[in-house]
Structure 1
Amino acid sequence: MNTRVRRTFRSDIQGMRAIAVMLVVLYHSGVTVLSGGYAGVDVFFVVSGFLITGNLLDSLERNGRINFGDFYAKRVRRILPASLVVLVLTVIAAFAFIPPLQMQNLLRDALATAAYLPNMWFAVEGTNYLAEAAPSAFQHYWSLGVEEQFYLFWPAILGLGFLLVRKSRTGLFVLVAVIVAASFLFGLWLTTENQPWAFFSLPSRAWELGVGGLLAFLLSRGYRWLQGAPAALLGWAGIAGLIAVALLFDETTVFPGVNAALPVLASAAVIIGGTAAHPLSPVRVLSIRPMQYLGKISYSLYLVHWPLLVIPEAAFRNIDPLQPMDKLILGALSIPIAALLYTFVEDPARRAKFWAQSRPARSIMTGGIASIVVLVLAGGSLAVTSQTELSSGRTVAAAAGSGMALPATEFVPDNLQPSLTEAEDDNPSIYATDCHLGFDDTDPAGCLLAPNADAPRVVLFGDSHAAQWYPALEKLAQEGQIQLDSNTKSSCPSVTVELMRDGSRYTECDRWRDGVIDRLVADPPALVLLTNYGQADLVRGDDRFAAEWGAGLEATVAALPDTSTVGVISDSPDMGETPAICLSSNLDDAMACGRTPDEAINHDVRSAEQDAAESAGASYVDLLGSFCDDQLCPAVLGDTLVYRDSHHITATFSAGLSPVLGEQIQGLLAAQ
């Protein structure tokens, strides 16, 4: 192999770290102009891939092999001390400030983080990093999980590849290029199939670190053009690209997918520009003292900023929600805290004689033992938290048999149904039977529940806010009052509007909706019930959402068979956050977890639906009185928890409203 061009320290790389971490911190701190700041993580990936691959190539050049023990020992000393300290401190802070119910989820996240699998855990959970309303305090560890998993496999890939290509540098470069291309193509495919897995998984993200690896091959050659003006200008073009990403990308941008290529290639361009020994090189700007300092503490800053933002927001959401300025102050406060972490943990731990001057086995074993201790502590805390009593110690009479009745219950009763811990999973049965369709499904066949073949056929048609009424209608079908034809699909309203999902057109929704309407026209039912969540990401923007929604509802009603009666069920209130979490901190004051009707109801959309129903000849089925009085939309009615999350009702509450909905249906059918 050719002699490498070595640089023991590159100030431009330190400056890039500063850019990356400040993009992420400012984005998380609510600086809306930097709506694409999340791409700072991609900058970190490219830099890490470049540095790690360069070090491994050096080892192959000098020794013809990779010293795996030394490599992993250095990674342990570099990553684990600060990571585990922040993990433990975050758990301690969470116990002091986070609602008890939320602590269980947080501790599960802590377990995954301590096991170096946070990214896989969040992918399994289906986390939407760019749109999560109540994010985990450990969500930012996902990128660390990707890097740790990359470090686990990459040395072996390069070492074995080096032998397979008979120690040919060109052959190894081609092998890496093939891996990068395969990962990139896999990421493109997975982004359209399963965005959470595309965002969080190593196979779909490895190409970003691999691009940095390819740069390590390229720059080690010392090509003359890399020292000239073209390379310097390329560096500035890269900086401009990163600025463009930060300003133009947002939560609606399809990501990672092909869009991730822009921050990755821009980062690569900046690294190339930093190599140029030319006056136009961006090195001088990247090397100024503030950039160098932020780059030096960037790892600690990345670790501490997120829990510092998330924990106060979760703690005070019900009391006094954080304002934009509060988030900016917390983001700024993360810098001195990160400086303390770097000074007293990260840097001393990396240099400590205890392991830095000993055999690699000591570092690896110490890191492993520390991780196991944290896993045991987190697991034990989860076991204890799971046994925490989440009720007031008092019982209450069951709700009236003719539907949920006000006034609200002022405390969390012992006989609450479902319990706070069961609320999240209190779903309609159609979720378990796959009758409720996922994002990619387009089958319009529906599901029929018809114990009484002579009963009138009632069609339920809409998104998950239609699915939440299935338990109420299911009882009516089981009692023989109706035949229930269920047609529901995730995030796909029966309102005829063009939608976006994860940054791209939701065409599967259009195909499914049209297919259901065609089926109903071919076989008209007695009654069609339309109900949907009055929030969506419209293709044409949301500036005139209520008007577009109303027009879309009219279009759907007009497309349904003339012989069918159509009812539009009012949407359920939106509580803004999951009431069960709030209730776990307010066991004796359940009213604190309610919202006023003005806060919980989108009156513009509600009015648009009423007007559209009247204009199109449909009936508006107003069930708001079952949720709210003039003053409050409570979280608990009788012995029943109303909501399973911020805006879906529990299956138990839905079933309790069966008499109310049944009475409305009989009235609609009688009017035919």
Structure 2
Amino acid sequence: MRAVAVGAVVLYHAGLSAVPGGYVGVDIFFVISGFLITGQLISMLEARGRIPFGEFYAKRIRRIIPASFVVLALTTVASLVFLPPATRPGALQDAIATALYVPNVLFAAQGADYLAETAPSPFQHYWSLGVEEQFYLFWPLLLLLGFLLVRRSTRRLFWVVLSIVVLSFALCIVLTGTSQPAAFFLLPTRAWELGIGALAAFALHSGLVRLNGRAAALGTWLGMAGIAVSLGALNESTVFPGWAALLPVLSTAAVIVCGSSLPSRGAGMLLSRAPMQKVGAWSYSIYLVHWPLLVIPQAAVGYENPLPLVLTLALGALSVPLAVLLYRYVENRFRHPAAGSPLRARRVIATAALASLGFVAVAAGAGAVQSTAPIASTREAASQPLQVAPNGSTFVPANLNPTLRDAPDSIPGTYDDGCHADFPATEVNTDCVYGDPDGTVDIVLFGDSHAAQWFPALEAYATDGSYRLHNLTKSSCPSVDIEILHEQRPYSQCEQWRQSAVDYIDALDPAVVVLSNYGEVSPVDTSTGLVEQWEAGLGATLAALPGSSHALVLADTPSHSTSPLDCLSRNIEEAAACDLPRAEALDGEVLAAEERAVRDGTVQGGTVQDGNASFVDLSSYLCTDICPSIIGDLLVYRDEHHMTTAFSRALAGPLGDELDKVQ
């Protein structure tokens, strides 16, 4: 089963489209781990009436940590050599979290999307080890406590474990719908998968499950069929873990339970063959090695230059012989030491702790060096006012504003003061007023993060012109009246917030409402094309605004498929290599749909008064036939598709000219 699990994961990460659900290999590993560890703990409880924690933890450390730390150290060195300079500090942060056994917690806090991350961390695969390590830490304590509470009965302890599994699964369902990264990465929402394996161990140990040969064989094949369906039917758009995780988890448990009853029959005939057993033995090392082997070469050449499938499959295959070496000279050597004593167990635990702290100290020092090293050429660029048809810089200036390292934090102040609504918000914050507090003319900024990126420009205009600026922006929630998905679920909070914003605007009756949105969304309704829905939705929003307010629809800004920051940090003397053709950077169909919605004005029974809405496209200040990443001494983008605050503020003049025309 471990061979099936690791094979699925490697093929999925290599990009083989035949296994779009290959990520469930991790879930298979969870069930197997829960089964094996719980079986050992049950035997300890029954034989000794207690759990020798020192012995248990020392054994887990010898099994997991040496190979993990070897790959961790090698991956860290490779990251410092091959990763773009802009991403190295973040990678070192991930490495430190891995050394402290909490990478999954860090990735959950970052909101990393394991299934869709375009530039993933070289250490991201360690999230599952974090879950297992945390499980190994707490599970023996919970079992011993439960064992004592049920008067040392392993049969009654089964029901305690079942209760934990049910609670964990319920939490998983709830968080998958409200905070999918937390549900994906954290132990409390994944514990039920290891718990299913634990229940299988209890069932077999106590004799609760007794199957004859034919039923056991059929059960193994049904379990394998369920795994096969998971690998082929689930994909990146599946809401996961949630209910979808039940299929691979229960299927794995079926194979384990039924196969344990009759290991040489059914699917056991396949799984027990020597090649499968060998790959299963190497599976942990394969899992550790394969991810950095795939990620670091891709990062080195740039995610804008995706490696061909034949090469990623070759790298996946290369992980096997490398894993064999790791298994033979590291994993097995530490896994089977000479018989020890309680003192030796304590020494193992202390050594692991000191190794973690030592690695953290070294990595933190390297991170400090990386964070202060400049990522630019030695030349400076002249500061210049923005103009139509700009010339991009051919190098990364030493006086770049902001620097490549500071760019990710170059976000509007509305994020820090709570005036950019996060995903759960359903009501607008009416206290988000900027500019001149004594001004008599109101301007409203309305939309998603692509509206929020215009805030620095609008704030500068409002302050200079004695206007009041009202910020109504929300993450991933366009002002366009369209039902969309967020984390593969209907984004109902967006619809409620949007209506709250429209009500607020209607009561305020501002002079101008500025709308801007990111057109790459996933609509709930798949029966109609996105462009058609977008045009109708924008028209509906415009019709809902006060008739006396002028609606100014700003065309969206260019989008890159990968962050220009990584590319620029690799090409400080050839910055033009990171520029993008205008035809690729701008979605002409969406822009045309927005312009039609403004021009036509009649959608779904509503009417925008003639002359009371306008469409403004300022992309000529960002692009010619090419959209450069650096203009003068200004960095244009902070990520794939958001402007830096410095560049937004520089657009206050051109945007202000357009606003002056409509007042």
Please state which band the TM-score falls in when normalised by the shorter chain: over 0.9
Deviation, 1:455, is 4.2
- Which of 413, 417, 421 is equivalent to 1:429? 413
Contact kept, 8 Å, 1:318 with 1:593, in 2: the verdict is no
Give the aligned partner of residue 549 of structure 1.
Answer: 534
**Contact 1:229/1:278, CA 8 A, preserved across alignment:** no
Equivalent residue number for residue 4 of structure 1? none
Deviation, structure 1 residue 454: 4.7
Structure 2 counterpart SS, 1:35: coil
Kindly state the Cα deviation for residue 604 of structure 1 after the two structures are TM-superposed. 2.1
| Residue 165 of structure 2 is aligned to residue 180 of structure 1 | yes
Partner of 1:251: 236
Superposed CA offset, 1:499-529 (max 9, x none) = 1111211111111112222333344322222
- Structure 2 counterpart of 1:432, which letter? D
Q: Does 1:636 align with 2:620?
A: no
**Cα deviations across residues 438-488 of structure 1 (Å, max 9, x unaligned)?**
111011355322526554322211110000001100111111353212211
Partner of 2:651: 657
Name which of 452, 458, 463 aligns with 1:478: 463
Judging changes above 3 Å, is the alpha-carbon distance between structure 1 residues 93 and 462 closer, same or farther for their aligned structure 2 residues? same
Q: 2:330 — aligned with what? A: 345
**3-state SS of paired residue (1:487):** strand
Matches within 5 A, 1:264-413: 264-277=249-262, 281-317=266-302, 320-353=305-338, 359-400=344-385, 406-413=390-397
Pair 1:622 & 2:617 matched: yes
The separation in 1 between residues aligned to 2:388 and 2:466, in whole angstroms, is 21
CA distance in 2, matches of 1:324, 1:596: 25
C-alpha displacement at 1:607, in angstroms? 2.2
Contact 2:302 2:566 in 1 (8 A): no
- 1:403 touches 1:656 (CA, 8 Å); kept in 2? no
Write the letter of the residue equivalent to 2:661.
G
Check conservation: 1:123, 1:197, Cα contact below 8 A.
yes
CA displacement 1:602-658 (0-9 Å, x = unmatched): 22222222222222263210111111112x211111111111111100111111110
1:427 maps to a residue whose letter is: I
CA contact (8 A) 1:228 1:278 kept: no
Candidates 54, 58, 61, aligned match of 2:39: 54
- Residue deviations 1:416-454 (CA, integer Å, cap 9, x gap): 111111111111011011111111101135532252655
CA–CA separation in structure 2 for the residues paired with 1:474 and 1:360: 62
SS state at 1:430 partner? coil
1:403–1:657 Cα contact (<8 Å) kept: no
Structure 1 runs of 4+ off > 6 angstroms? 354-358
Instruction: Name the stretch that deviates more: 199-208 or 545-554.
Output: 545-554
Is residue 404–residue 637 contact of structure 1 (8 Å, CA) maintained in 2?
no
* Cα distance in 2 for residues equivalent to 1:529 and 1:280: 68
Q: Take 2:272 and 2:216, find their aligned partners in 1: how far apart are those partners?
A: 17
Quick check: 2:96–2:364 contact (8 Å CA) kept in 1?
A: yes
Summarize deviations over 1:543-589 as a string: whole Å, max 9, x none.
82223222222222223233222221111111222222222222222
- 8 A contact 1:355–1:363 mirrored in 2: no
How far did residue 101 of structure 1 move? 1.3
The CA deviation at 1:55 is 0.3
Q: 1:110 to 1:279 in 2, by over 3 A?
A: closer
User: Secondary structure in 2 aligned to 1:220?
Assistant: helix
* Inter-CA distance 332–465: structure 2 relative to 1 (3 Å threshold): same
The more displaced of 548-557 and 348-357 is 348-357
Q: Report how many residues are paired.
A: 652
Q: CA deviation at 1:348?
A: 2.2
Provide the identity percentage. 48
AA partner of residue 267 (structure 1): T
Partners of 2:505 and 2:633 in 1: how far apart? 39
Segments of 5+ residues of structure 2 without an aligned counterpart are 602-607
**Residues 1:100 and 2:85 aligned together:** yes
Deviation at 1:223, TM superposition (A): 4.8
Please say if 1:462 is aligned against 2:479.
no
Q: Which amino acid aligns with 1:637?
A: I
Q: 1:599 to 1:538 in 2, by over 3 A?
A: same
Which whole-Å CA distance do the structure 2 matches of 1:170 and 1:225 have between them?
Answer: 16
Amino acid at match of 2:254: A
Matches of 1:148 and 1:417, distance apart in 2:
43
Q: Residue 371 of structure 2 aligns to which amino acid in structure 1?
A: S
User: What residue number does 1:126 align with?
Assistant: 111
Deviation, 1:109, is 0.4
TM-score (norm 1): 0.93
Matches within 5 A, 1:179-218: 179-218=164-203
Report the residue type matching 1:200 in the other structure: F
Question: In structure 2, what is the Cα distance between the partners aligned to 1:381 and 1:635?
Answer: 28
User: Hey, what's the Cα distance between the residues in 1 that align with 2:529 and 2:7?
Assistant: 35
With 558-567 and 402-411 compared, the bigger mean Cα shift is at 402-411
Is the 2:259–2:268 contact (alpha carbons within 8 Å) kept by the matching residues of 1? yes
Per the normalisation by structure 2, the TM-score is 0.94
